[in-house]
Amino acid sequence: MILTLIGVFSYALQMKLGILHTTGLSEEVAWGIYIANFAFLIGIAAAAVMLVVPAYIFSHQEIKQVVMVGEAMAVAACIMAVMFILASLGRPDRLWHILPMIGRLNVPRSMLAWDVVVINSYLLINIIMLFYILYRNYQGKEPHYRLYFVGVVIAICLAISIHTVTAFLFSSNVSRPYWHSAILGPRFLASAFTSGPALIILTLQIIAAFTAYPVKSRVIETLAVIMTITLQVNMFLLGAEMYTEFYSQTKHASSIQYLFFGLHGYSALVPWIWTSIVLNVISVIILSLHPLRRNRRLLNTACIMAITGIWMEKGMGLVIPGFIPTPLGDIVEYIPTHYEIGVSMGIWGLGAIIFTLIVKVVISIQLGELKA
């Protein structure tokens, strides 16, 4: 609640004074920490799929018992992602221009319009599935398999789409060589399917510690294996990207040169990206060794490191270098202001409140404490 109030106050000042006055954004660097959080949260939103697929496609009954927690996380993450987009707009009141019937969404020509469609569709389908299954459980009845299975298939397709379309939104900027890569989409998916399960692993353990909600060890172990594989793939794709850029040493490698080693005396993100790589390397070592991964404390440590490392790499480490240097060769570094940090804290705080409220309802209904 305190974080949310800080966010409201910071956003009110941003609206009053103007986004270019209160943030570190400029004409050269148009996207900052807001879009960085958006890119990360799109990955967290896919957390539901990592539970939905084994639960409903492969009939994994133990995971099926906790799948509603993943749905709740997907809803909260999508809402936060949309809020970060709104925070990055200098005039959010002009959003009506893309509303169907009132304005013009510009589908199918605009990739940004497709991003709006798939994110809101994914949010809507998760809300519908969450409400339907919980309502049937509230009535003491089993959900109709044919009804919710259609929603499951649509949700899986949309979960992949939100990452793919968001990656295409970046890579379609041909004038930004750092983003113009064919493997950006797979990198988005690999990092998403790492950070999502990692956050679910931590969340399920907290829920099990403070409630009577049943969380079997096999659920944690299954998610840990998924997270291990996807983090290994993510590290491989990052290494492939680094090799491609650094081996050729063309002018197009200027952005990644700035990110990893600095450029012409500018090196604000160098400690950031190397910290991210160290965290991910330690995490993948722990997860890849079975005795270490089965140790719950080490597993939790690896999850925290993976979440932090991917947030640093997929957020600031992806968004900001795309603007540095500019197509004209200018170097303008970006540092988030306390207003941006305050707004970001507020959105994360509100997302935590939304997730907590939904999970409280989920637990009460599934434990039989709240029923018709």
Ramachandran region, residue 18 (left: φ > 0; alpha: ψ -120 to 50; beta: rest): left
Condensed to tens digits (0 to 9), the pLDDT of residues 327-345 reads 888 888 899 999 999 999 9
Alpha-carbon distance of 63 to 78, in angstroms, equals: 22
Mean pLDDT of 307-336: 89
Q: What would be the CATH architecture of the domain defined by 2-366?
A: Up-down Bundle (1.20)
pLDDT confidence of residue 314: 86
Mean pLDDT of 26-45: 90
pLDDT at 152 > cutoff 70: yes
Ramachandran region, residue 59 (left: φ > 0; alpha: ψ -120 to 50; beta: rest): left
pLDDT at 355 > cutoff 90: yes
pLDDT confidence of residue 338: 93
pLDDT confidence of residue 249: 73
pLDDT confidence of residue 271: 92
Predicted structure pTM score: 0.91
Range in 140-144, 239-243, 361-365 the model is least confident about:
140-144
pLDDT confidence of residue 251: 67
pLDDT at 289 > cutoff 90: yes
pLDDT at 206 > cutoff 90: yes
Alpha-carbon distance of 29 to 332, in angstroms, equals: 7
pLDDT at 108 > cutoff 80: no
Q: Helices then strands (H, E): number in the chain?
A: 16, 0
Structure tokens at 60: 């994994």
Looking at 53-144, list the stretches that DSSP marks H as alpha helix, in order from N- to C-terminal side: 61-64, 67-88, 111-138
